[in-house]
Amino acid sequence: MDPVRRTDELVDVLGAWSTGSGALYRRLAGSLRGLVDQGTLVPGERLPSERNLAVALRISRTTVVSAYDHLRDEGVLESRQGSGTRVCSTRAPVRSDGWSANGNPMYRNLLHTDDSVISTACLRTPALSGVERAIREVVAEDLPALMAEGTYHPRGLPALREAITHFYERQGLPTHPDQIVVTTGAHQAVALVAQLYLRPGSPVVAEDPSFAGCLDLFRDRGAEIHPVPLDAQGIDANGVRRAISELHPHLIYVMPSYHNPTGTLMSAARRRELGELSARHGVPVLEDSAYTGIRAEEEPPPLAAHAPRGAEVVTVDSLSKVGWAGLRLGWLRAPAEMALRLSRRKVLADLASPLLDQAVAVRLLNGYDQLARHRSAELREALEHMEQLLRRDLPDWEWRTPQGGAALWIRLPGASARAFAQVALCHDVELVPGSAMSATTDGSHGEYFRLPFAFDRATREELVWRLARAWRELDRHGPVESHPDVLVV
């Protein structure tokens, strides 16, 4: 059977299609042609009807008809009686587009930047002054020794593994350097864990909502993600118990400090419950602590510190959200035997992480508490400013002030975030709807979206001004009704 592209899936992969110049139908046609050329849309794949796509993109049906006609004239699309509009079956097949199957739209536009568009898809973390100071100190004092190194250090620079060990011990988590593997960012750490623990069909329990980037990594391994909702203390423990009993999961993925996108801080009691469940049932837990920014005054130690003997907990962290996004340096802490196995996956991935970055990380970890306080204070000021702007210009919107992190989880009363994202795109703002950050298929969190606040003051003001204009436009025309994908003949 030929593949069929759902309307919402096509909207996601189209991304910021309406930006740029030229007639709107030509922009849509160009984006669709690009998806065909790069292999996202494959020969024989059926596209949504003109009406359904027009409704989802909040444009006229005439625009979609013109775009489809243009692509039919070019031989990119074809129409068959009784089977709708499809990618031309005679086009030569191309390689995969490189994205994971059913991947979310969060990272797609990283490769297609447009300075006129304010993107909220990824968090911004400009460097703190301490990062520059650490780099200068490494160049002035550590460079000769680093240049004399003649090996890769696949598990990480010994001095950095020692510094990470002390980092955890200060938090009440006894650690040995053999438990540490240094990675090229936390994202790679999660990818290594996915490679080691998951195979096609592996059940994974994850918070709902969750971080879309990591859900992609699990899906790329063929895993089946089973979402469990959150409460005020973190992932629902009873939901996890049911999932363990019914599914026998290969992995539980959680973000205790802090949850992305809601900013929830998991309680110490909930961490203890998860650790006990891991020990009792032999289910590994992956705790992702990389989403930092604003920090609570009383932050519990890592989940691994609450877990009893026999629990298998892998803890992931990085310096990207605290120090600088450009410092692609993370790590994982795991039981020594699992750390060894994960280091083998690291060798296959890239042999080792850059030594200069690791030397900078050593110095940053030695002053981590001061660095984290600086970042937290900076983001708390940004949060207060963003909330003031939203209360003034968008008083109908709903949110809860996060306990940590760097974004607000916004609820749009009576509106679909997917529909609003298309309107916002016409005002040069890129949003990721909440449904993209959920593993459910029932449209959960469809009225939510994540709104980062780590922009400079002028950008925050411009962003809210554009969002307010887009909201007025959506409010004026009313919410878009949901239409099922039907075959038009």
CATH number assigned to the domain comprising residue 401: 3.90.1150.10
Q: Compute the distance between CA of residue 37 and CA of residue 34 in angstroms, rounded to an integer.
A: 5
Average pLDDT (319-342) is 96
Cis omega (within 30 of 0) for bond into 258: yes
Whether the per-residue pLDDT at 180 is higher than 60: the answer is yes
**C-alpha dist (Å) from residue 375 to 115, 147, 181, 239, 455:** 26, 32, 25, 34, 13
Q: Compute the distance between CA of residue 415 and CA of residue 429 in angstroms, rounded to an integer.
A: 17
- The enclosing domain of 307 has a CATH number of 3.40.640.10
Whether the per-residue pLDDT at 1 is higher than 50: the answer is no
Q: Compute the distance between CA of residue 262 and CA of residue 254 in angstroms, rounded to an integer.
A: 13
Q: Compute the distance between CA of residue 64 and CA of residue 30 in angstroms, rounded to an integer.
A: 12
Is 1 a member of any domain?
no
Q: Which residues contact 24 (CB under 8 A, 6 or more apart)?
A: 18, 59, 63
| Together in a domain, 346 and 376 | no
Is 107 a member of any domain?
no
At 365-415, the pLDDT tens digits run: 999 999 999 999 999 999 999 999 999 999 999 999 999 999 999 999 999
| Together in a domain, 53 and 74 | yes
Is 321 a member of any domain?
yes
Q: Which residues contact 280 (CB under 8 A, 6 or more apart)?
A: none
Question: What confidence tier does 100 reach under pLDDT thresholds 50, 70, 90?
Answer: low
- The enclosing domain of 75 has a CATH number of 1.10.10.10
Burial class of residue 174 (count of CB atoms within 10 Å of its CB; 0-12, 13-18, 19+): exposed
pLDDT of residue 109: 60
pLDDT of residue 478: 56
pLDDT of residue 6: 86
Average pLDDT (416-423) is 94
Whether the per-residue pLDDT at 101 is higher than 60: the answer is no
Question: What confidence tier does 454 reach under pLDDT thresholds 50, 70, 90?
Answer: very high
Average pLDDT (261-285) is 98
- Cβ–Cβ under 8 Å, residues 227 and 439: yes
| Together in a domain, 205 and 332 | yes
Question: What confidence tier does 480 reach under pLDDT thresholds 50, 70, 90?
Answer: very low
Instruction: Identify the CA nearest to 373 among candidates 318, 316, 297, 456.
Output: 297
| Together in a domain, 139 and 247 | yes
**Backbone phi and psi for residue 317, each to the nearest 5 degrees, phi listed first:** -155, 175
| Together in a domain, 166 and 179 | yes
Instruction: Identify the CA nearest to 467 among candidates 382, 414, 410.
Output: 410
Provide the number of structural domains found in the chain: 3
Question: What confidence tier does 483 reach under pLDDT thresholds 50, 70, 90?
Answer: very low
Average pLDDT (30-47) is 92
In this prediction the pTM is 0.88
| Together in a domain, 123 and 135 | no
| Together in a domain, 135 and 284 | yes
Q: Strands (DSSP E) along 120-219, which ranges?
A: 180-183, 203-208
Whether the per-residue pLDDT at 486 is higher than 70: the answer is no
- Cβ–Cβ under 8 Å, residues 412 and 450: no
Percent of the chain's residues with pLDDT above 70: 93
Instruction: Identify the CA nearest to 176 among candidates 155, 146, 202.
Output: 155
Cis omega (within 30 of 0) for bond into 209: yes
| Together in a domain, 48 and 87 | yes
Domain of residue 299: give its range: 129-369
| Together in a domain, 364 and 382 | no
At 181-233, the pLDDT tens digits run: 999 999 999 999 999 999 999 999 999 999 999 999 999 999 999 999 999 99
- Cβ–Cβ under 8 Å, residues 451 and 26: no
| Together in a domain, 349 and 336 | yes
Beta pairing class for 234-235 and 251-254: unpaired
Domain's final residue, options 338, 369, 400: 369
Is 484 a member of any domain?
no
| Together in a domain, 74 and 154 | no
| Together in a domain, 186 and 293 | yes
Is 344 a member of any domain?
yes
Residue ranges in 45-176 assigned as alpha helix (H)? 50-57, 61-73, 129-137, 143-147, 158-169
Q: Compute the distance between CA of residue 454 and CA of residue 376 in angstroms, rounded to an integer.
A: 11
SS3 category, 388? helix
